Amino acid sequence: MNTITHSQRYLPHELNTKFYAVKLYRTGVGVSFVCRRYHISKSSLLRWNKKFDGTKDSLVNKSHRPLTRHPNSHTDEELKWIRDYHRRNPKISVCELYGKLRANKGYSRHPGSLYRIYRRLGYSSYAPSTKKKRKPQPYDTPTKLGVKWQMDVKYVPAACYSGSVPQKFYQYTM
């Protein structure tokens, strides 16, 4: 891992760090010494020690994905309603679908959550942009002297002018 995201609070420990820290702890060395040497917390060391069965595979991180769905997530029945409506009418908009679900099926969720599910199921497609991509033109650099001229105009401030004529002055440079 080369970069750390801003939301990450700590660096994950490598597998070798876990393995050798637990092996050292099991030889009879004190907890504080092992924690200082491997820059780990006491709770991490004891948690790894409980999981350790002598192999490195026992210390590999497992999946953090929950085994059960969230209680507020869309039910299978609601997902079936959405799929059925889309199958019958593939061109239906999210607004129309929301209205039909509310009127006919008693759908009571927020339209934003319906839109999120609609996108997750792969039904929402973004229209391609009609704007043409900008194609930079090559800069015209002349090969001969005197073909192309450039003039710079600068305003001379009143503080820099020492004369008595009350006009604005400009400086021209070729």
pLDDT tens across 117-138, in order?
999 999 877 777 889 999 999 9
What is the pLDDT, as a whole number, of residue 9? Answer: 64
Say if 150 falls within a structural domain: no
Tokens of 154: 């600068």
Of all residues in the chain, the percent with pLDDT exceeding 70 is 94
Distance CA 85, CA 95 (A): 13
Does one domain contain both 116 and 80?
yes
* Residues forming beta bridges with residue 169, ordered by sequence position: 156
Q: Are 48 and 18 in contact (CB under 8 A)?
A: yes
Does one domain contain both 54 and 86?
no
Print the domain residue range for 87.
Answer: 76-120
pTM above 0.85, yes or no: no
Does one domain contain both 52 and 88?
no
What is the pLDDT, as a whole number, of residue 124? Answer: 79
